[in-house]
Amino acid sequence: MTIPIEELRRAQEIIAGAARIVCICHRNPDGDAIGSLLGMALLIENACPGKTVLFQCTDPAPETCRFLPGALRIRHDYAYIPGDAAIILDCGEPKLTEMHETHSMLFDGSMPTIEFDHHHRNPLFASVNFVFPEAASTCEIIVAFADAVGWKITSDIATCLLTGVYTDTGGLLHSNTTAAVYRTVARLLRAGARRQEIVTAVFRTAKFSTLKLWGRVLEKISLTAEGGAISAVTEGDFRASGADYSELTGAIDYVNAVPGMRFSLILSERGGTVKGSLRTLRDDVDVSAMAAKFSGGGHKKAAGFALPGKLKPEIRWKVEQSEEEQGKTALR
Ligand SMILES: [Mn+2]
């Protein structure tokens, strides 16, 4: 991935010309959203003293990411002032910010915006777009950008950015873990990224309520004739386990582990919406196309959608005769 020089120059102009810069990531943020939000906000604060940098997300950082520097500075009350510029991170489309209706100035061209993203159906909605679908994470793009403009990546910033690289590659295990990803990891470790802090907080910590919720997910897996491993969690499951919605993150990788399946799906009930998370391990299945049928999106191997409604269980029973019984029937 090479950062195009013309876009780089325009982005620098936007940043130089703004007194306040608001960094925004998608609602219900994952490690890459939080890592890229914090990484970018701290990079600008360091490189451009005197500028006010706002950390904005509709939802707070998930608990697993609260150890990151700056995580507690995230607010959800951004109010536009003329002269502001925005940097939008890890958002495949405007509505993922959940600010598309309340803050139309972000998307109608009335304020300068820069976006960094790696979702392949991104409609390039910002004034300057750094969208690289071949990147495994948004954090990877930010590392390339910071190095291209010559911004210093401190140990704190490297820790934020490595979190995004790790979470979007499932701990460097997903098929999107290219040589470029390993190069980025090496770059961040040299910059002082505190790898073990990330491993402990993100991959080796599971709350009691999370394990209880995952137990319910695993208990309810069913396999469909179309080759799907499917599970569902209701509001009742969240209540009974004491888990919040964000604790479902990661459970899909277990559902996706059933051998021979084409895809996996977890449906989860959240207020009046049902969220679907899709994964596949196969090259000939595109789950982002499946998600698109339900107005969702994502990547070829990991995608999601949300539909208004509730979950209704459907149980099917049929009587299957034993071979012995069938034999008796045939003899009569
Ligand atoms: Mn991402």
Based on the number of CB atoms within 10 Å of its own CB, is 174 exposed (0-12), middle (13-18) or buried (19 or more)?
A: middle
Q: Are residues 65 and 193 in the same domain?
A: yes
Based on the domain organization, do 46 and 177 belong to the same domain?
A: yes
Ligand 1 centre distance from Cα of residue 145 (Å): 16
Shared domain check, 173 and 223:
no
| pLDDT value of position 193 | 98
Check residue 324 and give its pLDDT: 77
3-state SS, residue 85 = strand
| Helices 5-17, 138-149: crossing angle, 10 deg rounding | 80
Is 332 within a domain? no
How far, in Å, from the CA of 57 to the mean position of ligand 1? 15
Domain membership flag for residue 329:
no
Same domain? For 110 and 132 the reply is: yes
Between CA 91 and CA 7, with CA 33 as vertex, the angle to 5 degrees is 55
User: CB–CB of 230/251 below 8 Å?
Assistant: no
Q: Global pTM?
A: 0.82
6: CA distance to ligand 1 center in Å?
A: 24
Cα(243) to ligand 1 centroid in Å equals 23
CATH of the domain at 221: 3.10.310.30
Residues 169 and 222 in one domain: no
Between the CA of 249 and the centroid of ligand 1 the distance, in Å, is 13
CA angle 304, 252, 37 (to 5 degrees): 60
Name the residue range of residue 45's domain.
Answer: 5-202
DSSP state of 200: I
- pLDDT value, residue 286: 97
Q: Given this model, what pLDDT does residue 16 score?
A: 97
- 114 and 229 share a domain? no
> Could you say which of 180, 202, 224 is where a domain stops?
202
Structure confidence at residue 313 (pLDDT): 83
Q: Are 237 and 213 in contact (CB under 8 A)?
A: yes
Calpha distance 276→295 (Å, rounded):
11
Q: Compute the distance from residue 299 Cα to the ligand 1 centre, in Å.
A: 9
Q: Tell whether 146 is covered by a domain.
A: yes
Distance from the alpha carbon of residue 103 to the mean position of ligand 1, in angstroms: 22
Select from 186, 202, 218 the last residue of a domain.
202
Q: Flag whether 325 is in a domain.
A: no
Q: Report the DSSP beta bridge partners of residue 87.
A: 23, 114
Q: In this predicted structure, what is the pLDDT of residue 331? A: 64
Residue 227 falls inside a structural domain: yes
Helix H or strand E encompassing 287 = helix 287-292
Taking alpha carbons only, the member of 248, 249, 228, 229 closest to residue 237 is 248
Residues 190 and 264 both lie in one domain: no
Asked if residues 124 and 6 have their Cβ atoms less than 8 Å apart, the reply is: no
Structure tokens at 241: 């386990």
Residue 325: predicted pLDDT: 74
Residue 13, Cβ neighbours under 10 Å: how many?
13
Beta strand ranges found along 204-258 (DSSP E): 222-223, 228-233
Q: What domain count does the chain have? A: 2
Interval between CA 330 and ligand 1 midpoint (Å): 59
Written as one string, the DSSP assignment of 137-177 is -HHHHHHHHHHHHT----HHHHHHHHHHHHHHTTTTTSTT-
pLDDT in tens, the chain (332 residues): 899 999 999 999 999 999 999 999 999 999 999 999 999 999 999 999 999 999 999 999 998 999 999 999 999 999 999 999 999 999 999 999 999 999 999 999 999 999 999 998 899 999 999 999 999 999 999 999 999 999 999 999 999 999 999 999 999 999 999 999 999 999 999 999 999 999 999 999 999 999 999 999 999 999 999 999 999 999 999 999 999 998 998 899 999 999 999 999 999 999 999 999 999 999 999 999 999 999 999 999 999 999 999 999 887 788 887 877 777 766 65
Please indicate, yes or no, if residue 317 is contained in any of the structural domains. Answer: no
| Cα 132 to ligand 1 centroid, rounded to whole Å | 11
Whole-number Å distance, alpha carbon 166 to ligand 1 midpoint, is 10
Q: Is residue 271 part of a domain?
A: yes
Same-domain status, 93 and 219: no
Do residues 222 and 102 share a domain? Answer: no
* Domain boundary residue, one of 202, 226, 250: 202
Q: What is the pLDDT of residue 244?
A: 92
Q: Do 47 and 168 belong together in one domain? A: yes
Same domain as 170, residue 28: yes
Cβ density class 235-263: b for 16+ within 10 Å, e for less: eebbeebebebbbbbbbbebbbeeeebbb
CA–CA dist 177, 165 (Å, integer) = 9
Please indicate, yes or no, whether residues 89 and 154 belong to a single structural domain of this protein. yes
Q: Decide if 191 is inside a domain.
A: yes
Task: Using DSSP bridges, classify how beta strands 302-308 and 263-270 pair: parallel, antiparallel or unpaired.
Answer: unpaired
Contact assessment for residue 243 and residue 228, using Cβ atoms and an 8 Å cutoff: no
Instruction: Quote the DSSP letter at residue 266.
Output: E
Q: How far apart are CA 20 and CA 18, in angstroms?
A: 5
Centroid of ligand 1 to alpha carbon of 87 (angstroms): 15
- pLDDT of amino acid 31: 97
